[in-house]
Amino acid sequence: MNIDSKRVLITGGAGFIGSNFVLRTLERYPHAKLYNVDKLTYAANPRGMERAECSGRYQLIRADIAHGETMRTLFERIEPELIIHFAAESHVDRSILGPAEFIRTNIEGTFQLLEAARALHTASKPIHFHHISTDEVYGSLPLDEGAFTESTAYDPSSPYSASKAASDHLVRAYYRTYGLPITITNCTNNYGPRQFPEKLVPLMILSALEERSLPIYGEGKNVRDWLYVDDHIEAIWAAIERGRVGETYGIGGGEEKNNLEVVECIAQIVAAEADMDAEAILARRVFIRDRPGHDLRYAIDPQKARDELGWTPRESFESGMRKTVRYILENRALYDSIRSGEYRQWIAKNYTKRGGEAA
């Protein structure tokens, strides 16, 4: 499917990956119209998206995807030709502390979007549904061997990954049962500009810059397969444009690092970019209680995406991390407003609430 000139309904486009996706897509596809349906939870930050607002081809609609009636009405009004579904509760630790919102948004929300799409989809006016998912649905790998492929059995460990697994199954079921055209991408750990600073990478960069302690779960030996956010965006475009309907594509950066290595790399880059001492940063590492059910290792074998979509990542871990550190250094005010909570007041003032949004 050609994305340009389409009416595209994006969910979660004010979050980390979604907001980068909106900004890049408006540049790359000069005729696409983007409608961003986002509840603007704690993780959203529509600040810094002025370029999108000024384009005349972008609209942010504050709404809850789990509110079925609101979704049906919105779909009837917008008549989307393509849906790209990012919206989710995305942080594993929060899902351990309080899983209910994950079930509601990630499962019920995906279900309501699928229902709204099914009600409008016809052979003459088709709607394509692209679902953004995660490698966490496959569970954990041993330290030294193997990688997930599209045929690996699902085995999620956390309430977050279980809710994403359920959403993947629903999306595939709507293709098999109702013929709704779908594609799915299951991606590894992203990092880059605009990521909410509860996640490992921005948390460590900000802690290093502010001379605070760097909390590492357990022994720091857990491995993740890191991908710079722009490379994920390229993979999503490729899956929508060149992917086969009904198929799933695993997207991975091939940059496996354990958490100690991630923190080491961040310390070196922060030291170089901000004129600090890397050893002093590393001396502030503290090893804290491990995450319950902490998956040991994730890695995706991206061969299918390479072969069928012609996709490969451009950034190395080192080059992507340097860009990320520089972005944070140049946008300290944005991160300060997130952490002080001041950005929530700004959202309340600038965006009205629609159906299903709690006060």
Residues 237-296 close enough to bind ligand DAU by CB under 6 A? 259, 291
The number of residues making up the chain comes to 359
Residue 134 makes contact with ligand NAD by CB under 6 A: yes
> Would you say 30 or 98 has its CB closer to ligand DAU?
98
Segment interacting with ligand NAD, rule: CB under 6 A, options 81-89, 148-156, 263-271, 299-307 = 81-89
Among 64, 81, 135, 230, binds ligand DAU (CB under 6 A): 135
Contact 166, 108 (CB under 8 A): no
Interface residues for ligand DAU in 291-330 (CB under 6 A)? 291, 298
- Is 41 an interacting residue with respect to ligand DAU (CB under 6 A)? no
Dihedral angle of Cα 66, 133, 138, 148, to the nearest 10 degrees = 170
Applying CB under 6 A, which of residues 61, 83, 84, 187 lies at the interface with ligand NAD?
Answer: 187
User: Which position among 25, 90, 167, 185 is part of the footprint of ligand DAU (CB under 6 A)?
Assistant: 90
Query: Is 255 one of the annotated active-site residues of the chain?
Result: no
Q: Residue 88: which region, alpha, beta or left (left: phi > 0; alpha: psi -120 to 50)?
A: beta
C-beta of 94 vs 285, nearer to ligand NAD: 94
Shortest reach from residue 69's CB to ligand DAU, in Å: 28
The CB density around residue 288, as the number of other CB atoms within 10 Å, is 11
- Judged by phi (left if over 0) then psi (alpha if -120 to 50, else beta), residue 20 lies in alpha
Q: Is residue 152 close enough to count as binding ligand DAU by CB under 6 A?
A: no
Tell me the backbone φ, ψ of residue 120, rounded to 5 degrees: -100, -20
Give min distance, CB of 132 to ligand DAU, in A: 9
**Binding residue (CB under 6 A) for ligand DAU from 203, 245, 278, 282:** 203
Give the residue among 102, 89, 103, 82 at the shortest CA–CA distance from 10: 82
- Which residue, 215 or 355, has its beta carbon nearer to ligand DAU? 215
With b for 16 or more beta-carbon neighbours within 10 A and e for fewer, the 321-344 pattern comes to bbbbbebbeeeeebbebbeeeebb
Cα dihedral 320/326/327/329 (nearest 10)? 150
Residues forming the active site: 135-136, 160
Query: What is the contact surface with ligand NAD in residues (CB under 6 A)?
Result: 11-12, 14-18, 38-41, 43-44, 64-66, 86-90, 105, 109, 132, 134, 164, 187, 189-190, 196
